[in-house]
Structure 1
Amino acid sequence: MKPVEPVGIAAAALWLPEGRARMAEAVADGRLRARQAKELGHPEVPEAGPESAPGMAVDAARAALRVADIEAKDLDICAHAWMYYQGHDLWSPAHYIAHELGAHRALPVGIQQVCNGGAAGVELTVARLTADANRSPDGYRWGTVTTGDRFTEPGFDRWTSDYGVVYGDAGTALLLRAPAAPEDALRLRSVVTMAAPELESMHRGADPFAPAARTQRPRVDMRATKRAYLHEHGHERFIRANENAIRTIVAEALRDAGIGPRDPRLRYAVLPRFGLKTLQEFWLPILADCVDAEPLDYGRTTGHLGAGDAAAGLAELMDSRALGPGEAALVFSAGAGFTWSCLVVQAPGR
C-alpha cells in the first residue's frame, strides 16, 4: 500500500518492564536444553511484574505523545493490537487505552492478527487518516497504533510454548499523522502485507474446536499444533510460502516507495525478533539475495514482542538515529495465519 498522501511517523516508543527472565535460569530449571538455548540466542527477555499488557501500551503511547508534544484529545483513531490475553475475558483493550490517554474523540479499534497485528494496525490507521478530508485545527489527522503483551504463567511459558521464539513482555506505540510534516522523524513510504491462509492450521493442528480458552490444554502449546501440521504436510509447504512472502513483500514495498533494492539510500533491514536459528535459516539468506540493506537484529535482549516487533524496531531505529538524511529502511513483521508485512520508512532529507 502506497499512502495516497504523505504519512509521517511523528514518534515511536518501546516501553519495557524492569524485570528480566533469564535464559540461563530456564536451562538450569530443565525447561530448555543448552542446544535449544544456543539456537534461540536470547540471554534474557523483559518480564512484567504487576504491569498489565494494556497498561504497558498506555505507557508507551504516553511516551510517544510527549515526544511529539501532541495531546490525546487530538487523536482521531487509537488502534491496539495484541497476541495474548489482555487481562479480562470479554472486554475491549482499545477502548481502555483511549480512555486512559484521554482520547475521547478517537475511534478505538482492536486488532487480533496475532504477531502481525501491529503492522496491520499501521495499515488500518493509515487508511483511516488518509481517507477523511476533515482535519483537526492544526491541519492534521492523528492516530496511534499500540501493542501490549504479557506472556505469563500459568497459561503461557515464554520459553517453551513455541519453536524458535522466546516471548518478551512490552508495550509499543506509534504516533502517525497525515499529511506528514517536516519535523516528523520518519516518513512512511509504503507498507505491504501478504498472507498464506492455507497455513492457519499450524496453530490449530488436529485439535477440535473448544468451548472456552485453554480447555484443550492448561497452557498454550504452539509446538503441539505445529507438530500435528508438520506430520500431515511436512516442512516444504511452509518453507516455500515463507520465502515467497518475504520476496514478494520486499519487492512490492520498495516498488511502492520508489526505491530500488540496490539503492544506496536503502541502509537497513530491521528483522522480526525471532530466535537466531530462525533468522539465520529462514530470513537472512532470502534478504541478502533481495537487497543490499544491512540487517539489524534488535531482538537479542527483548525476544519476540508479540504484535509489537515492527513498532519496537521503528522505536529503536529512531532512538539510535540510525538513518541519515534521505536514508531508508525496511521494517519487518510476521505472524501466525500466516501473514508477513514490510514497511518502508525514510528519514527526511536535509
Structure 2
Amino acid sequence: MQVQDIYLDSVGMYVPETVSAADAVAQGLYDPGMHAETGLTGVAVSPGVSGPDMAVIAAERALERGVLGKADIDAVFHASCFHQGPDGWCAQTYVQLKAVGRGVPAFEVRHGCNGMFDAFELAVCYLRADVGRDTALVTIGDNLDSPFIDRWRSAPFQLIGDAGAAAVLSARGGFARLRSVGSLLVQELEELHRGTDPLFPPPATTGRALDLGARSADFFATYDLGEFNRLSIGGLRTLVDRLVAEAGADLGDIARVSYMSVSRDFTEQRLMAPLGLPMERSCWEYAGHVGHLGAADHLAALDHLLDTGDLAPGDLMLMVGLAPGLSIGGAVIEIVDAPAWRR
C-alpha cells in the first residue's frame, strides 16, 4: 500500500539485557554446533516483566521523546506473538490504560512476527477513514519465558528474545515518513509452521512445548524444497519490488534493511542475496546480538540505527519479515529529519 502524509513522530524500545550465547553453550542450554553455525551472539531476556508491561514502557519512552503526547493519540494498535496474560483478558486495553489513559479505541493485532506491519497498515487505514483522526500509537510486547518455549532450541537458526516496542504514527509530521507498507500471503506454505500438530485441543493447553523445528521437518517430509524456495523467495521479491515501487524508489536506493533475527547465512541467502544487496546494508550485527524479538525486530533495528547515527535525512530503510501463513510483510520508511530526541 502506498502511503502518503503519514509519519513516525517517535519510536521507543524496551530491550532487556542480553544473555550471552557462549555462556548458554557453557551451561548446556544451547547446542554448540548451532551456535557455531548461526553466529548468533546473544538474546534479550526479560527480568520477569510481562509483554504488555514492556509495551507500556516502550510507549512511555516514545511519547516522552516525540513532539506528540498522550492527548494526541486517537487509537492504540497492540501487536503480540505469545500469551499476554490471563485468559479471557485483553492486553490492548491494559496498554491503552497505562500508556494513554484516555478512552480511545484499542485494537489487538495477531499476525505473529509480522504484527508490526499489519498494525501500521491498519493504523493508516483507521486514520484515513475519518478527518478527525490523525495520530495512532502502535505497541508491541512479548515475554517468551515459558515452560512451553525453549528460547535456545524451539526455533531453528534463531534465539527467541523478549522486548517491548512502540511507534507514534501521525499525519502531523515526524522524523520519518512511512512511504509504503503491506504484506503478501504464500498460502501454499501455510502448513510450514503448523506441521502435524492438532488444532484442538491447542498444544499449550495440554503441556506440549513449541518445537518449530519438528513442525518444519513434518512439512518437508512431503513438500519439495525446491518448490518451497521458488515460492518463498519469489514471494519475497514480489512484495519487496511492490513496496519499493510504491515508495517511488529503486532497490539500489535502500540504505539499510531490517529482517527478523536469524542466522547470518539465512539472512544473506534468503534476503540480501535475492535482493542483490550487500550484507553491510543489513542490520544483522545488531539483530544477532539481541535475538528474534517477535514483531519488535524492526522498530528495535530502527531505534538502534538512529542511536548510532547510521541513518540520516534522505535515507530509505526497508523492513522485511516472515510470519506463519506463510506471510511476508514489509515497509519502506524515509528519514526526513533528525528525531526530536537527538537534536
State TM-score, norm by structure 1: 0.90
Partner of 1:47: 45
> Counterpart of 1:339 in structure 2: which amino acid?
S
> Counterpart of 2:161 in structure 1: which amino acid?
G
Partner of 2:289: 301
Distance 1:325 1:302 in 2: 26
Shift of 1:189: 0.8
Distance 1:207 1:219 in 2: 11
The answer to whether the aligner puts 1:249 opposite 2:239 as a matched pair is yes
> Counterpart of 2:200 in structure 1: which amino acid?
A
Instruction: After superposition, give the CA deviation of every residue in 1:249-296 in whole Å (9 maximum; x if it has no partner).
Output: 221111111112234xx322223222223213211211226x998223
Distance 2:264 2:65 in 1: 33
**Contact 1:147–1:307, Cα closer than 8 Å, also in 2:** yes
Q: CA RMSD in A?
A: 2.1
Shift of 1:75: 0.9
Distance 2:12 2:282 in 1: 21
| 1:27–1:215 distance in 2 versus 1, CA, 3 Å | same
Identity across matched positions, percent: 29
Shift of 1:195: 1.2
Unaligned runs of 5+ in 1: 136-140
The answer to whether the aligner puts 1:171 opposite 2:170 as a matched pair is no
**Contact 2:62–2:168, Cα closer than 8 Å, also in 1:** yes
| 1:35–1:296 distance in 2 versus 1, CA, 3 Å | same
Shift of 1:22: 2.5
Instruction: After superposition, give the CA deviation of every residue in 1:297-333 in whole Å (9 maximum; x if it has no partner).
Output: 2302111101111222222233333233322121222
Distance 1:247 1:236 in 2: 16
What SS does the corresponding residue of 1:214 show, helix, strand or coil?
helix
> Counterpart of 1:319 in structure 2: which amino acid?
D
Match of 1:339 among 321, 327, 330: 327
Partner of 1:158: 151
> Counterpart of 2:330 in structure 1: which amino acid?
C
Partner of 1:73: 71
Instruction: After superposition, give the CA deviation of every residue in 1:26-60 in whole Å (9 maximum; x if it has no partner).
Output: 32343433220122222221111121111000000
Partner of 1:12: 11
> Counterpart of 1:294 in structure 2: which amino acid?
R
What SS does the corresponding residue of 2:89 show, helix, strand or coil?
coil
Shift of 1:216: 5.2
**Contact 1:74–1:103, Cα closer than 8 Å, also in 2:** no
What SS does the corresponding residue of 2:169 show, helix, strand or coil?
strand
What SS does the corresponding residue of 1:134 show, helix, strand or coil?
coil
Shift of 1:143: 0.7
Instruction: After superposition, give the CA deviation of every residue in 1:65-122 in whole Å (9 maximum; x if it has no partner).
Output: 0011433232111111111111222211111100111342321110110111111111
**Contact 1:269–1:293, Cα closer than 8 Å, also in 2:** no
Distance 1:30 1:342 in 2: 36
Shift of 1:338: 1.4
Partner of 2:336: 348
What SS does the corresponding residue of 1:300 show, helix, strand or coil?
helix
User: How many residues get paired?
Assistant: 337
Q: Which region of structure 1 is more displaced relative to structure 2, 241-250 or 108-117?
A: 241-250
Q: Output aligned runs, 1:1-350, within 5 Å.
A: 1-3=1-3, 5-18=4-17, 20-135=18-133, 141-178=134-171, 180-181=172-173, 184-215=174-205, 217-263=207-253, 266-288=254-276, 294-297=281-284, 298-348=286-336
Unaligned runs of 5+ in 2: 339-343
| 1:227–1:215 distance in 2 versus 1, CA, 3 Å | farther
Shift of 1:165: 1.1
| 1:292–1:207 distance in 2 versus 1, CA, 3 Å | closer
**Contact 1:262–1:292, Cα closer than 8 Å, also in 2:** no
| 1:332–1:153 distance in 2 versus 1, CA, 3 Å | same
Give runs of ≥4 in structure 1 deviating > 4 Å. Answer: none
| 1:29–1:349 distance in 2 versus 1, CA, 3 Å | closer
**Contact 2:92–2:108, Cα closer than 8 Å, also in 1:** yes
Distance 1:157 1:256 in 2: 39
Distance 2:60 2:118 in 1: 21
| 1:251–1:171 distance in 2 versus 1, CA, 3 Å | same
What SS does the corresponding residue of 1:223 show, helix, strand or coil?
helix
